[in-house]
Structure 1
Amino acid sequence: MRTFRHAKLMASTLRTLLAERGASIGHAESLEIVARQFGLRNWNILAARIAAAERQETPAALPKGWSIAGTTPGNYAIGLDAAQSSRTEKIVAISCLFSSDDPDAARIQNGFGTLMQAVDARPFIGKRLRFSALLKTRDVPGHATIWMRVDDKAPDTILFDNLMSRPANGALTGTSDWTARQIVFQIPEDADSLHYGLLLTGMGTVWAKTVRLEVVDDNTPPTATRQHYERQRRVRRVIEGGPQNLDFSDIA
């Protein structure tokens, strides 16, 4: 059974059948007709859908110790960007698989994908902890950012920051060159798990490198104050051994 993945073959069959009946159309026109048959506005949208399906079948390499999550992680290619990386510097990316003119663009804009770690927070209790990275973006109408969260034993979230509410030095949008972003928490006594990562909402691409998770002195002000997010109760999932592979050099 043929699907949209066979669009070029269908366009070729269409041209052949029309030629047998004395009608002639060009290759580009036949592709446009096939796209309309699938309910899409033009061939460019259908071609993007085909490319997205192919990328979903060959996911990016995932750095060891990191995991993929989000509301719609299947809409994104998440992992090592081999083309951007070098032998000495590894770069990860979250890239939406769909184009901005896709008919489902409004729905896709409401989702997000993240590359993250979750570790035991207890070794950091009483310490001031900074999570930072260099970010670069392309064609991001939503938000590209880093985030960090602390949960207690319930587990309920008691600290959270994703830069999105900041008037300055917040989440990135549009297209930007490498930009430094950071989050600083004072880890409270009842902290149980620590979560952090890279986040993209909607479409476009965000790249990250020079990721750091480090203890800083009291002269570095926290970026978020304690709150209680009881409605966001979660399952406790942490990796053993604490933060690892922050330079993305070890590929699973």
Structure 2
Amino acid sequence: MDFRKKLAALLLALAAPAALAEPTGSTPKLPVGWYVTESAPKRYEAGVDTSAPCEGSRSAYLRSLSPDEAGYGTFMQAFGAQDFRGKRLRFSAATRVKDVDGWAGLWMRVEGPDPKQPLAFDNMQSRALVGTRGCKRHEVVLDVPKEATTIMAGLIMSGTGQAWLDGVRFEVVDESVAVTDLLASRPLVASTGPAGLDEPTPVAKNDQVPVGRVGDIWFNNGRIMTAKPYTRRQDGVWVSILSEEIFEHGIAVTGTFGQRKVDLLVKAGTSLTRIEGTWGEDLVDIQLRPDALTMKWGRLTRQLLRDKDAPVDSTCNRYVTTEGPRVLDLVDVCGAALSTRPPTAQLVLSFLDNGFRRVVPPRNFPIPQPPVRSREALNTPSVSPPPQ
């Protein structure tokens, strides 16, 4: 099957009226090649809707059946990657949502020989669809490496509500279209002054390329740039420059960080990513949502809300605490840290190293100080007149 025939087959489900007809008195018929996966049985359903499509004569929908806000479901398809290897693939669709309490978005995932280690991934969580929104075309753009085996794509919804998509397109695009990959390698360029036009663009080494960030702490598959950086040994153990070790056991992260014992669990896969357990003698409870971030350790607490109008990169969420025009606390969460399958050790150490006390950003409005009540501070000392 050549490239054009492959695309035609992928779009058949949303282009053939007969194939999408809804039989009377039966379960809504899904488009050919599409199916539903969910966090638990009978929490979501998908079907075809002809009432108010964004484009064309019908749309497909994903709807929650349970009031449980912790669940998630996807309306998706999977296909072989052989026709797209070495190319940049854009998955786009017109979408709308109604009463989504949680978040929704398009998603696409490129897998290789090891399904547990995706080669590229984006689920729009950093630009999620929430509440009720009208028709708008959205897109996910990923590079498909030569070792790719499978591509999966679809519509995801976490929590409750209903989401629709139609006008589905899969297109090979050139490098002028930016990728939205949460796992993409982003070169770090040192700010060393202006460069001449004939000089090559500086590109960071592989071990210096971040895939995620929490605050100022960035990480990739082999390094976590905490105050005392950790690197990953060949046996999978993370070790700091002070020889402290961190171990990963599925969703569990144990070891030593900052001279304190770490025993934490990372629970993800829905609109809530939660880190809970102990660090030292105190309890840790970190909750990351699309709209809020709460960080608790012992008696210390940071509570921040997402600033959706913040001038940040499209792969980042900015969480802030404000008082009038003043920003009292700020944390950016970016890239793989926003994934529904975040790297556990990197996420844990990045959050722990950010600390649990407020961090006032630079160049902020000054915080007024209480008035001075000392009479001495108000009295102006007498000054002798200059000699004649």
Calculate the TM-score normalised by the size of structure 1.
0.59
Q: What's 1:125 paired with?
A: 85
Q: Distance in 2 between matches of 1:193 and 1:130?
A: 15
Matches within 5 A, 1:25-64: 58-64=26-32
Number of corresponding residues: 163
2:50–2:57 contact (8 Å) kept in structure 1: no
Matches within 5 A, 1:155-234: 155-156=115-116, 157-164=118-125, 166=126, 170-224=127-181, 225=184
**SS of the residue 1:202 aligns to:** strand
Moved over 3 A (4+): 82-86
**Structure 2 spans left out of the alignment, 5+ residues:** 1-24, 186-210, 212-220, 222-235, 237-249, 252-388
1:73–1:113 contact (8 Å) kept in structure 2: no
Q: Distance in 1 between matches of 2:156 and 2:180?
A: 18
Q: Deviations over 1:155-192 (max 9, x none)?
A: 3312110010x2xxx11000000022111111112111
Q: Distance in 1 between matches of 2:51 and 2:31?
A: 15
Q: Distance in 1 between matches of 2:58 and 2:102?
A: 25
Q: Calculate percent identity across the aligned residue pairs.
A: 35
Matches within 5 A, 1:147-162: 147-156=107-116, 157-162=118-123
Q: Deviations over 1:41-66 (max 9, x none)?
A: xxxxxxxxxxxxxxxx9432111111
1:73–1:114 contact (8 Å) kept in structure 2: no
RMSD of the TM alignment (CA)? 2.5
Q: Which amino acid aligns with 1:223?
A: T
Q: Rate the CA distance shift 1:82–1:180 in 2: closer, same or farther, 3 A.
A: closer
Q: Distance in 2 between matches of 1:113 and 1:58?
A: 21
**SS of the residue 1:123 aligns to:** coil
Q: Distance in 1 between matches of 2:156 and 2:40?
A: 12
Q: Which amino acid aligns with 2:132?
A: T
Which has the greater radius of gyration? 2
Q: Deviations over 1:102-138 (max 9, x none)?
A: xxx4xx2111111111111121111110001111111
Q: Distance in 1 between matches of 2:138 and 2:41?
A: 23
**SS of the residue 2:83 aligns to:** helix
Q: Rate the CA distance shift 1:83–1:203 in 2: closer, same or farther, 3 A.
A: same
1:133–1:182 contact (8 Å) kept in structure 2: yes
1:82–1:91 contact (8 Å) kept in structure 2: yes
Counterpart check, 1:66 vs 2:27? no
Q: What's 1:78 paired with?
A: 46
Q: Rate the CA distance shift 1:68–1:80 in 2: closer, same or farther, 3 A.
A: same
Q: Deviations over 1:69-113 (max 9, x none)?
A: 121351122121243459x52201111124xxxxxx4xx211111
1:79–1:115 contact (8 Å) kept in structure 2: no
Q: Distance in 2 between matches of 1:221 and 1:84?
A: 31
2:99–2:132 contact (8 Å) kept in structure 1: yes
Higher relative contact order (CA 8 A, sep 6+): 1
1:96–1:205 contact (8 Å) kept in structure 2: yes
Calculate the TM-score normalised by the size of structure 2.
0.39
Counterpart check, 1:116 vs 2:73? no
Q: Which amino acid aligns with 2:175?
A: D
More helix by share: 1
Quote how far apart the aligned CAs of 1:143 are: 0.8
2:51–2:58 contact (8 Å) kept in structure 1: no
Q: Which amino acid aligns with 2:159?
A: G
